């Protein structure tokens, strides 16, 4: 019974496929997967916009939208109607073709990256041998769309915003990829399905063997999520679209449906990279404790995705925006060394796995935590104390 | 400064407290959802003038059309035409008393100069209208509000006014009852409804 | 020929020609990115997953961005460029044909075209990694050293000059 519920979508797809002649089946299979992904994540996008507005509202001591439906449930519908009926203005001197193409160039890579994530048991749309590399490759293409948006507007502010956005995305790509390399190293495979499989089994019979329950996994997860927040231009790293500074930066000249597409692309990116973090560190569709194994796998995946999105919203409501130079210092001077040390810690954990004396797990944990924690504290003290509180020196004022 | 990230954790705890508290703690959800709930106005709030009547909106109107407020109004937003009886004798009643809200600046000078406590400040502010040309002019019927309403919106002020008027009334009664040789009529300061006036219906 | 591969061929050559001859510099850069994507498609068609995705990650995600940033930083937005037109263009076409012809003849007359095709090696990531770490480890380290030197040189070049300051 539990197995049937778990595989219900897989069986549904096979049943649908059986209606078509076998020559057409690969194509139809791709179409069904793509349609399912777009439908699910499209509606998740709508729910996320509402959840974000209400969540941010409650954090800021106000109710959030509650006029449109009961508790504001129909607000995404109202937003969609607004976006569709707004006038789509294109500046006269703008580069028409690139201006038109930039939002689609933002959406296509993010939708492509949804294809490799395993949403449940046997539920990845495609399972590449180098699935993780595919994910990062299409993620890197998003920067092109940011540039295209900023350049084609022929607006100096948009150009500044695009430059800052690209610089930020490039800075944080390195910690993102390096923190996922630890998982690849320990698992020995780039395939996301195999990474989820390597997190099977339970410690001592009850706690799952997720990578996040190891010291390098925890550090890697936190680093990955920080870099992911920066990659999808979300607070506190939302300088490119700082509303109070650059008035949406590279998106200044976009209005109406094109702006909605950018917005959608940003949210899709956030959900995709959360999905990757869940796959790499939180055990994908696996249950956290042995007793809850009967819950369908896709419910676990989307539950974890919901928690990740909630944490994103929580962090957005809490932290102020980072300045451009603070952002880049943080990436290069703090996160990069920590990710490299994390690699070493993962190797140490892997090779001390053969220890089997009593209390070995605790010793390994302490060793790993010390290996990562000491540089964290030292780097933190070295970089972030002291300066900023002395008398100001001006370089150009006499 | 302690561990890097301690401040972030503290901030996250505070916002979580805000989020959870907003569901059960009125201090953490301070929004007043406007058309359904309203904030209580302070007692000295004022928006635009109103005329006070004692029992009857026509017979009890305190205003005697002395036109002092019309003269003193800085932007000249009051327009008064005194009532006349069929033979042309002026009556102590305004046939027309218009205040143009788009001109009135709520300075309260008309209230300060009225010798009869006839015009006071109202607190009603939801006066938007779609009629650009006549919608913002309040006529005498719209302006006439009862003394009980005045007591409701400005309790201390109205109570003080009522006490003062009652005292003056009592003094006038006492004076008129005393053997006074040549005081035929009570002093004009009395805001008694002009009993002899038969206010013609205003146009 | 299969229509898919014909289409890919046309797209690759077309975008390469466009990258050389368009008027707007940014359009040229974007066409170059399309060419890189088509090359990645060739790698993927040959079942070399790792190289294909690495091609996208490195070329489209880094090299094209580099070109684009260089344009961003050094060009004015309102500039209307001129297409690069070399008057005796037949000379250019002739040189291209010569180079292509010599390459094609070299490949077709080599052992690759004559011998029967060996079974396709499984170019899995694991195999590539193993080769890199055992057989090709010295070139790997030299490349790493080279990249580090380049990075340090770039940082040194881009440092703000410490002069006496601009006094009015």
The pLDDT of residue B202: 45
Give percent helix, percent strand, percent coil of chain B, each to the nearest 5: 30, 15, 55
The distance of A135 to chain C (nearest Cα, Å) reads: 9
Residues in contact with B28: Cβ distance below 8 Å, sequence separation at least 6, in sequence order: A61, B17, B18, B21, B22
The pLDDT of residue A313: 93
The pLDDT of residue A362: 86
The distance of B3 to chain A (nearest Cα, Å) reads: 6
Cβ of residue A60 closer than 8 Å to a chain B Cβ: yes
Q: Which CATH class is domain C1-78?
A: mainly alpha
Plot region of C66 (φ>0 → left; ψ -120 to 50 → alpha; else → beta): alpha
Cβ separation C72–A140 shorter than 8 A:
no
Distance separating alpha carbons of residues C53 and A322, to the nearest angstrom: 32
The distance of A319 to chain B (nearest Cα, Å) reads: 7
H or E element at residue C93: helix C89-108
- Which residues of chain B lie closer than 8 angstroms to A319, CB-CB? 8, 11
- Which residue on chain A is closest to B28 by alpha carbon? A61
Which of B1, B2, B3, B4 has the highest number of chain A CBs within 10 A, making it the mutation to test binding with A? Answer: B4
Chain A residue set in contact with C, beta carbons under 8 Å = 93, 95, 98, 128-130, 133-134, 136-141, 143-144, 147-148, 151, 154-156, 159, 162-163, 166, 170, 173, 188-190, 395-396, 398
pLDDT tens per residue, range B106-132: 999 999 999 998 999 999 888 888 988
Kind of pairing, strands B49-53 and A207-208? unpaired
Distance separating alpha carbons of residues C10 and C115, to the nearest angstrom: 29
Residue B78: helix, strand or coil by DSSP? strand
Which ipTM value was assigned to this complex?
0.82
pLDDT tens per residue, range A81-106: 998 898 888 888 888 888 888 999 88
Which of A151, A163, A170 is nearest residue C26 as measured by Cβ atoms? A151
Which of A53, A54, A57, A59 has the highest number of chain B CBs within 10 A, making it the mutation to test binding with B? Answer: A59
User: Is pLDDT above 60 for C163?
Assistant: no
Q: Which residues of chain A have pLDDT under 70?
A: 1-2, 242-248, 386-390, 398
Cβ separation A154–C78 shorter than 8 A:
yes
Going by pLDDT thresholds of 50, 70 and 90, the confidence category of residue B71 is very high
The pLDDT of residue B105: 94
Query: How confident is the model over C147-167, as a mean pLDDT?
Result: 77
The distance of A385 to chain B (nearest Cα, Å) reads: 7
Strand partners, B53: B61, B146
- Which residues of chain A lie closer than 8 angstroms to B12, CB-CB? 314-315, 318
User: Is pLDDT above 60 for B180?
Assistant: no
The pLDDT of residue C56: 92
Residues in contact with A58: Cβ distance below 8 Å, sequence separation at least 6, in sequence order: A64, B18, B19, B22, B23, B29
Smallest CA-to-CA distance from A114 within A34, A221, A5, A20 is with A34
Cβ separation A129–C49 shorter than 8 A:
yes
Which of B4, B15, B28 is nearest residue A380 as measured by Cβ atoms? B4
Distance separating alpha carbons of residues A179 and A212, to the nearest angstrom: 12
User: Is pLDDT above 70 for B65?
Assistant: yes
pLDDT tens per residue, range B2-21: 678 888 899 999 999 989 98
Which of A130, A139, A159 is nearest residue C72 as measured by Cβ atoms? A159
Residue B198: helix, strand or coil by DSSP? coil
Distance separating alpha carbons of residues A117 and A129, to the nearest angstrom: 13
Query: How confident is the model over B80-97, as a mean pLDDT?
Result: 92
Domain ranges in chain A? 2-385
User: Is pLDDT above 70 for C165?
Assistant: no
Distance separating alpha carbons of residues A345 and A212, to the nearest angstrom: 13
Query: How confident is the model over C45-70, as a mean pLDDT?
Result: 89
Cβ of residue C67 closer than 8 Å to a chain A Cβ: no
The pLDDT of residue B201: 44
- Which residues of chain A lie closer than 8 angstroms to B9, CB-CB? none
Kind of pairing, strands B90-100 and B137-138? antiparallel
Handedness of CA C143, C145, C148, C153 (dihedral sign): negative
| Cα Rg of chain B, angstroms | 25
B119-121, strands of its sheet edge to edge? B119-121, B49-53, B144-146
In this complex, the chains that touch A, judged by 3 or more CB pairs closer than 8 A, are B, C
Cβ of residue A326 closer than 8 Å to a chain B Cβ: no
For A348, other C-beta atoms within 10 Å of its C-beta total 16
Cβ of residue B32 closer than 8 Å to a chain A Cβ: no
Smallest CA-to-CA distance from A336 within A98, A141, A171 is with A171
**Chains A and C lie in contact, requiring 3 or more CB pairs less than 8 Å apart:** yes
Omega within 30 of 0 (cis) for the link into B17: no
Query: How confident is the model over C120-144, as a mean pLDDT?
Result: 84
The pLDDT of residue B197: 44
Cβ pairs A/C, distance under 8 A: 85
H or E element at residue A267: helix A256-281
The pLDDT of residue A292: 83
Cβ of residue A319 closer than 8 Å to a chain B Cβ: yes
Domain ranges in chain C? 1-78, 122-158
User: Is pLDDT above 70 for B186?
Assistant: no
Tokens, residue A97: 């073709």
Task: State the angle between helix axes of A256-281 and A25-59 in degrees (0 to 180), rounded to the nearest 10.
Answer: 100
Cβ separation A133–C168 shorter than 8 A:
no
- Which residue on chain A is closest to C69 by alpha carbon? A163
Handedness of CA C61, C64, C70, C75 (dihedral sign): negative
In this complex, the chains that touch C, judged by 3 or more CB pairs closer than 8 A, are A
Cβ separation A144–C62 shorter than 8 A:
no
Cβ of residue C69 closer than 8 Å to a chain A Cβ: yes
The pLDDT of residue A33: 92
CA distance to A302, C27, C92, per residue, from C22 (Å): 47, 7, 16
- Which residues of chain B lie closer than 8 angstroms to A66, CB-CB? 33
- Which residues of chain A lie closer than 8 angstroms to C168, CB-CB? 398
- Which residues of chain C lie closer than 8 angstroms to A136, CB-CB? 53, 57
- Which residues of chain B lie closer than 8 angstroms to A59, CB-CB? 15, 18-19, 22
Going by pLDDT thresholds of 50, 70 and 90, the confidence category of residue C80 is low
Residues A130 and C125 sit within 8 Å (Cβ to Cβ): yes
CA distance to A168, A194, B141, C41, C52, per residue, from C123 (Å): 34, 18, 93, 16, 12
pTM to 2 decimals? 0.83
């Amino acid at each position: 019974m539990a197995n049937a519920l778990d595989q219900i979508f897989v069986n549904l797809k096979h049943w649908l496929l059986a209606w078509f002649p076998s020559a057409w089946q690969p194509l139809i299979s791709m179409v069904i997967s793509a349609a399912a992904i777009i439908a699910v994540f499209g509606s998740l996008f709508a729910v996320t916009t509402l959840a974000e507005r209400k969540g941010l509202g409650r954090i800021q001591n106000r109710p959030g939208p509650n006029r449109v439906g009961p508790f504001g449930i129909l607000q995404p519908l109202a937003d969609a109607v607004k976006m569709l009926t707004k006038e789509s203005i294109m500046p006269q001197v703008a580069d028409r073709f690139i201006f038109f193409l930039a939002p689609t160039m933002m959406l296509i890579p993010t939708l492509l990256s949804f294809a490799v994530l395993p949403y449940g048991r046997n539920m990845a749309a495609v399972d590449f041998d180098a699935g993780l590399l595919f994910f990062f490759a299409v993620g890197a293409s998003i920067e092109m769309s940011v540039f295209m948006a900023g350049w084609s507007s022929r607006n100096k502010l948009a150009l500044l915003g695009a430059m800052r956005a690209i610089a930020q995305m490039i800075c944080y790509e390195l910690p993102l990829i390096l923190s996922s390399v630890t998982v690849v190293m320990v698992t020995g495979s780039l395939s996301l399905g195999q990474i989820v499989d390597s997190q099977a089994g339970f410690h001592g019979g009850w706690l799952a063997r997720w990578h996040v329950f190891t010291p390098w996994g925890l550090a890697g997860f936190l680093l990955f999520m920080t870099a992911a927040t920066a990659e999808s231009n979300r607070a506190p790293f939302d300088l490119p679209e700082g509303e109070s500074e650059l008035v949406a930066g590279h998106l200044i000249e976009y209005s109406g449906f094109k702006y909605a597409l950018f917005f959608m692309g940003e949210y899709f990116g956030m959900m995709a990279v959360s999905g990757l973090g869940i796959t790499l560190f939180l055990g994908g569709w696996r249950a956290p404790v042995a007793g809850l194994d009967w819950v369908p796998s896709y419910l676990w995946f989307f539950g974890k995705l919901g928690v990740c999105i909630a944490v994103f919203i929580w962090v957005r409501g809490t932290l102020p925006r980072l300045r451009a130079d603070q952002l880049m210092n943080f990436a290069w001077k703090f996160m990069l060394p920590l990710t490299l040390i994390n690699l070493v810690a993962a190797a140490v954990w892997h090779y001390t796995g053969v220890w089997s004396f009593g209390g070995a797990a605790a010793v390994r944990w302490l060793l790993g935590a010390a290996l990562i924690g000491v540089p964290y504290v030292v780097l933190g003290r070295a970089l972030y104390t002291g300066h900023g509180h002395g008398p100001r020196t001006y370089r150009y004022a006499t | 400064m302690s561990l890097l990230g301690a401040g972030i954790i503290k901030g996250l705890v505070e916002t979580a407290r805000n989020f959870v508290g907003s569901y059960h703690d009125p201090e953490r959800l301070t929004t007043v959802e406007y058309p359904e709930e309203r904030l209580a106005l302070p007692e000295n709030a004022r928006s635009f003038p109103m005329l006070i009547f004692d029992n009857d909106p026509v017979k009890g109107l305190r205003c005697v059309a002395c036109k002092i407020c019309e003269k003193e109004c800085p932007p000249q937003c009051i327009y008064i035409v005194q009532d006349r009886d069929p033979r042309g004798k002026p009556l102590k009643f305004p046939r027309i008393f218009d205040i143009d809200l788009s001109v009135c600046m709520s300075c309260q000078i008309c209230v300060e100069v009225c010798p009869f406590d006839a015009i006071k400040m109202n607190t009603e502010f939801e006066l938007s209208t779609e009629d650009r040309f006549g919608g913002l002019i309040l006529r005498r019927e719209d302006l006439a509000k009862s003394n009980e309403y005045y007591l409701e919106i400005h309790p201390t002020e109205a109570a003080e006014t009522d006490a003062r008027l009652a005292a003056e009334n009592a003094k006038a009664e006492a004076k008129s009852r005393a053997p006074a040789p040549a005081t035929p009529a009570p002093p004009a300061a009395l805001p008694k409804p002009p009993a002899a006036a038969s206010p013609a219906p205003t146009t | 020929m299969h229509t898919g591969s014909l289409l890919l061929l046309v797209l690759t050559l077309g975008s390469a020609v466009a990258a050389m001859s368009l008027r707007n510099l940014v359009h040229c850069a974007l066409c170059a990115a399309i060419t890189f994507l088509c090359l990645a498609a060739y790698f993927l068609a040959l079942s070399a997953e790792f190289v294909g995705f690495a091609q996208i990650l490195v070329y489209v995600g880094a090299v094209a961005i580099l070109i684009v940033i260089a344009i961003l930083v050094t060009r004015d937005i309102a500039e209307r460029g001129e297409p690069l037109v070399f008057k005796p263009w037949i000379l250019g076409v002739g040189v291209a044909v010569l180079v292509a012809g010599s390459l094609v003849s070299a490949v077709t007359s080599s052992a690759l075209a004559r011998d029967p095709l060996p079974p396709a090696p499984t170019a899995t990531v694991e195999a590539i990694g193993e080769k890199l770490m055992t057989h090709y480890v010295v070139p790997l380290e030299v490349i790493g050293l080279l990249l580090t030197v380049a990075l340090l040189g770039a940082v040194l070049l881009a440092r703000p000059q410490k002069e006496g300051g601009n006094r009015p």
